[in-house]
Amino acid sequence: MAIAGNRKINKQKTNRTPYYFIIGPLLIYFVWIIGPVFYTFYLSMTDWDGISPTAEFIGIENFQKLFGSIGKVLPSAFEYSLYNNLLWLFVFITVPTAIGLGLAILLNQGLPGERMFKVGIFLPQVLSFAVIALIWAWVYNPRAGILNSALLALGWPADNLPGWLADKELAIWSIIFAASWRQIGYIMILYVAGLKNVPPTLIEAAEVDGATPWQRFWRITFPLLAPVTTIVIVISVIDSLRAFDLVQIMTRGGPANSTSVLANLMYIQSFNNYKFGLGAATAVVLFSISLVFIIIYLWRVMQDELEY
């Protein structure tokens, strides 16, 4: 009886062992992730300058300043940043996704040298955003850049060359194009992996039945790529909302805030203007936008799980 009782006690102790291993990671997660999130929410309701030992609680005044600046005669930095983030989000979900999918289908046909093309297209993904920013800053250089040099060679008037990063209308599109150039290779690889799971027999059967290439793609291939498309959209949303490096290095939000995004504005308000409360409020707005897409994604995942 005593031996059986000891075994029962040892078994209970052994069952608790896995919980001991997750205490450390959970503490680190709460200290470095959850704690700063709540602290940011608190800072967003203060006027802290980042230096003073105390901060005055001012409620929602920082949010009133941000959203109260919308609709003025001249667009505010926050208005530009919010618009540019939404524009970045829309372009990232559509353009790189469509081009990446098209390249994946093209390079999945067994063409000669397809591996070399895959490596070449994916190569920008292994470069850091800082390197990407420097490369495209050289490309967009108004005097010695490759782009304007090519325009001169094609007969473009030398006194009317575009100032890609100095023009308020062109600057944000120039940066988004550079970001999309990096993103296309990653999306292509995801779709290439997804195409390997499409049963060739279904394609062959549709071809025998007389389906056109577009019908085979739209009715068979694309629906079977739905899980990959979900991942691509989630990644695109995350990458677009956390856009910072390219803007900070290439234009610092200029000219006249026309390329500013929320992450860039948050940095400038906090570390350049010493308005950490306003910077934290901007971070909360960015977090809230991200949260909308996170909830939609989780709802979709839960729906799929319930169906199975």
The structural domains of the chain, ordered by start, are 22-307 (1.10.3720.10)
Look at residue 186 in the predicted model and tell me its pLDDT. 93
**How far apart are alpha carbons 135 and 62 in whole angstroms?**
37
What tens digit of pLDDT does each residue of 211-231 get?
A: 888 888 898 899 999 889 988
Mean pLDDT for the stretch of residues 153-160: 88
Look at residue 308 in the predicted model and tell me its pLDDT. 61
**How far apart are alpha carbons 9 and 258 in whole angstroms?**
67
Whether 12 shows a pLDDT value over 70: the answer reads: no
Structure tokens that stand for 148 in this block: 């304007």
**How far apart are alpha carbons 62 and 277 in whole angstroms?**
7
Query: 4 pLDDT band (50/70/90 cuts)?
Result: low
Structure tokens that stand for 109 in this block: 């046909």
What is the average pLDDT score of the chain? Answer: 88
Query: 87 pLDDT band (50/70/90 cuts)?
Result: very high
**How far apart are alpha carbons 270 and 267 in whole angstroms?**
5
Quick check: bond before 162 cis, omega within 30?
Answer: no
Burial grade of 161 (CB within 10 A; 0-12, 13-18, 19 or more): middle
**How far apart are alpha carbons 105 and 118 in whole angstroms?**
12
DSSP 8-class letter at 57: B
Cα 300 to chain centroid distance, Å, stands at 19
Mean pLDDT for the stretch of residues 233-254: 90
What tens digit of pLDDT does each residue of 250-282 get?
A: 999 989 899 999 999 999 999 999 999 999 999
Whether 159 shows a pLDDT value over 90: the answer reads: no
Query: 14 pLDDT band (50/70/90 cuts)?
Result: low
Look at residue 144 in the predicted model and tell me its pLDDT. 84
pTM of this prediction exceeds 0.75: yes
Q: Are 142 and 164 in contact (CB under 8 A)?
A: yes
| 46: three-class secondary structure by DSSP | strand
**How far apart are alpha carbons 192 and 105 in whole angstroms?**
7
Structure tokens that stand for 189 in this block: 């690889």
The tokens 């995350």 sit on which residue? 238
Q: Are 216 and 206 in contact (CB under 8 A)?
A: yes
